[in-house]
């Protein structure tokens, strides 16, 4: 990408703090001078496209993104939207839920529809209204006693000062940003694909290690289990119940969420259990007394935690730190005995061997969740303990290696996103000449 961008020859004070200096030949005006609020109700029994505005992607047909979500029983009386209109979610404008519509359709009366009063390039204002500096200004003009109740009404939005270069320059800036942001998104897409390939490679190596071992030349035998296949000749096949001392979950404390505290003993729920880590940020807390009363679901270092219900069923990770923890009924504690290491057991459950059985007992068995009896009867390949330890060390090593590589790619993606945001801001506020 060519990063050699130039400044305009002369600048002036815009008179708006959030804009700062703008090119000398640009005008500054209020939103209400170039946009008007339109309220055109749709006719009865219409079949127009239902549109929504999202903070991350702007205005899109709802059917493309919420096929299983709530659908309006009727769109009679909804606001008509034309291509080029700016759609504003009054409740979430301060978070970036604003954008140009590239579609004719209808949208909820909870939204405001802004239509140009003068000749302008709507996409220029799409870029302007969605950049961070402008979003901060939208928040200042929103009304409400707290963030989640803020509303941006047009009488306030209309008074915000915005840049107004001539129409041809607006078009030129939009063309430049369309081209540049497309290249940036393409670069981000490539890096995201690289991350997925790294994750796939990591999973292949771990699966091979827990199902075949580290010796590529080892003699194999049939395991007798279809989803396990061949295993090293000196390995065994065991049911999980024979290598664990506990398989069970917790309960939701009496009183449910009303008993949660701002601090105390962490209560792990399914959203806290991810592949590769246990997430303590945003965790629920219970009192020492409640923790003591839930003695059967207290977690120990080395336990493997497995989600057994809902959309995250099958996600698992082991506890490698030593602090008091508890779990609710959606998380199962699988406690390894001296016959198996925590890393080896967790890696098996996260591999095709474990996930295949989880899928069967959830889907093939016609159940919505996993029961403890099913988990106890999971079949796993089991090497001698010394070999497990070697495999576990290998898994730790490659996990760290891939984590580092993935983190670097994620940092590169963040830098590209920051560059994109900066580029948009500088272009639509005239800090660079395109």
Q: Token digits for 348?
A: 């098996």
Last residue of a domain, one of 364, 382, 400: 382
Same domain, 240 and 321: yes
Same domain, 146 and 44: yes
Q: Where are the strands (E) in 292-382, listed by range?
A: 298-299, 304-307, 316-318, 325-327, 331-336, 379-382
**How are the residues of the chain apportioned to helix, strand and coil, as percentages rounded to the nearest 5?**
40, 25, 35
Q: Where are the strands (E) in 65-200, listed by range?
A: 79-81, 86-89, 98-100, 105-107, 111-116, 161-164
Same domain, 57 and 158: yes
Same domain, 155 and 242: no
Question: Does residue 401 lie in a domain region?
Answer: no
- Compute the C-alpha angle 89/95/96, nearest 5°: 65
The 3-state DSSP class for residue 277 equals strand
How much is the pTM?
0.84
Same domain, 153 and 240: no
Question: Does residue 64 lie in a domain region?
Answer: yes
* Structural domains of the chain, count: 2
Question: Does residue 143 lie in a domain region?
Answer: yes
Question: Does residue 177 lie in a domain region?
Answer: no
Q: What is the pLDDT of residues 359-399, one digit of tens each?
A: 888 754 455 678 999 999 999 999 999 999 999 999 999 99
pLDDT value, residue 250 = 87
CA distances to 101, 145, 316, 341 from 302, in Å: 52, 46, 13, 8
Q: What is the pLDDT of residues 204-242, one digit of tens each?
A: 999 999 999 999 999 999 999 988 999 999 999 999 999
Same domain, 145 and 261: no
Same domain, 248 and 357: yes
pLDDT value, residue 73 = 65
Question: Does residue 202 lie in a domain region?
Answer: no
Do 295 and 234 form a contact (C-beta atoms < 8 A)?
no
Same domain, 148 and 69: yes
Start-to-end CA distance of the chain, whole Å, equals 14
Question: Does residue 215 lie in a domain region?
Answer: no
Question: Does residue 310 lie in a domain region?
Answer: yes
Question: Does residue 273 lie in a domain region?
Answer: yes
pLDDT value, residue 296 = 93
**Total count of residues recorded for the chain:** 434
Same domain, 239 and 375: yes
Same domain, 152 and 258: no
Last residue of a domain, one of 102, 137, 164: 164
Dihedral (CA of 268, 274, 279, 282) sign: negative
Same domain, 251 and 139: no
- Domain containing 243 equals 235-382
User: What is the domain-level CATH number for residue 147?
Assistant: 3.90.220.20
The 3-state DSSP class for residue 320 equals coil
Last residue of a domain, one of 122, 137, 164: 164
Same domain, 160 and 298: no
pLDDT value, residue 68 = 43
Q: Kindly give the confidence (pLDDT) of every residue in the chain, 434 residues in length, as a single tens digit, with 9 standing for 90 and above.
A: 545 679 999 999 999 999 999 999 999 999 999 999 999 999 988 889 999 999 989 999 988 776 544 455 678 889 999 999 999 999 999 999 999 999 999 999 999 999 999 999 999 999 999 999 999 999 999 998 777 778 999 999 999 999 999 999 999 999 999 999 999 999 999 999 999 999 999 999 999 999 999 999 999 999 999 889 999 999 999 999 999 999 999 888 877 777 789 899 999 999 999 999 999 998 999 999 999 999 999 999 999 999 999 889 999 999 999 999 999 999 999 999 999 999 999 999 999 999 999 988 875 445 567 899 999 999 999 999 999 999 999 999 999 999 999 999 999 999 999 999 999 999 999 999 99
């Amino acid at each position: 990408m060519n990063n050699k961008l130039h400044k305009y020859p002369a600048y002036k004070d815009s008179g708006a703090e959030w804009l700062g200096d703008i090119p000398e030949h640009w005008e500054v005006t209020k939103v209400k001078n170039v946009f008007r609020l339109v309220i055109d109700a749709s006719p009865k029994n219409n079949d127009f496209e239902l549109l929504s505005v999202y903070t991350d992607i702007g205005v899109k047909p709802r059917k493309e993104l919420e096929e299983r979500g709530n659908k309006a029983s009727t769109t009679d009386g909804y606001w008509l939207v034309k291509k080029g209109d700016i759609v504003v979610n009054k409740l979430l404008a301060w978070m970036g839920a604003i954008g140009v519509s590239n579609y004719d359709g209808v949208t909820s009366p909870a939204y405001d529809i802004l239509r140009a009063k003068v000749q302008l390039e709507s996409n220029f204002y799409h870029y302007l209204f969605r950049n961070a500096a402008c979003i901060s200004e939208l928040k200042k003009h929103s009304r409400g006693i707290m963030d989640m109740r803020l509303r941006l009404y047009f009488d306030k939005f209309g008074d915000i000062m915005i840049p107004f270069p001539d129409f041809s320059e607006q078009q030129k800036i939009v063309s430049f940003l369309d081209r540049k942001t497309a290249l940036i998104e393409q670069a981000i897409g490539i890096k995201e694909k690289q991350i997925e390939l790294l994750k796939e490679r990591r999973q292949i190596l771990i699966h091979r290690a827990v199902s075949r071992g580290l010796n590529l030349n080892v003699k194999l035998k049939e395991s007798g289990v279809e989803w396990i296949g061949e295993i090293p000749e000196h390995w065994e096949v065991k049911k999980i119940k024979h290598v664990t001392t506990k398989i069970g979950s917790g309960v939701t404390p009496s009183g449910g969420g009303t008993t949660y505290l701002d601090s105390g003993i962490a209560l792990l729920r399914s959203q806290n259990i991810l592949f590769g880590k246990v997430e303590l940020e945003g965790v629920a807390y219970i009192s020492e007394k409640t923790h003591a009363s839930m003695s059967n679901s207290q977690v120990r270092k080395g336990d493997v935690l497995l989600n057994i219900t809902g959309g995250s069923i099958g996600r698992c990770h082991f506890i490698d730190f030593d602090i008091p923890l508890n779990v609710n009924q959606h998380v199962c504690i699988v406690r390894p005995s001296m016959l198996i290491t925590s890393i080896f057991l967790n890696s098996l459950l996260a591999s095709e061997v474990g996930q295949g059985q989880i899928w069967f007992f959830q889907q093939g068995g016609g159940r919505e969740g996993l029961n403890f009896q099913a988990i106890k009867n999971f079949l796993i390949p089991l090497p001698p303990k010394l070999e497990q330890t070697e495999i576990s060390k290998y898994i730790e090593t490659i996990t760290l290696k891939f984590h580092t590589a993935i983190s670097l790619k994620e940092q590169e993606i963040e830098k590209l996103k920051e560059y994109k945001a900066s580029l948009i801001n500088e272009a639509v506020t005239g800090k660079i000449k395109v």
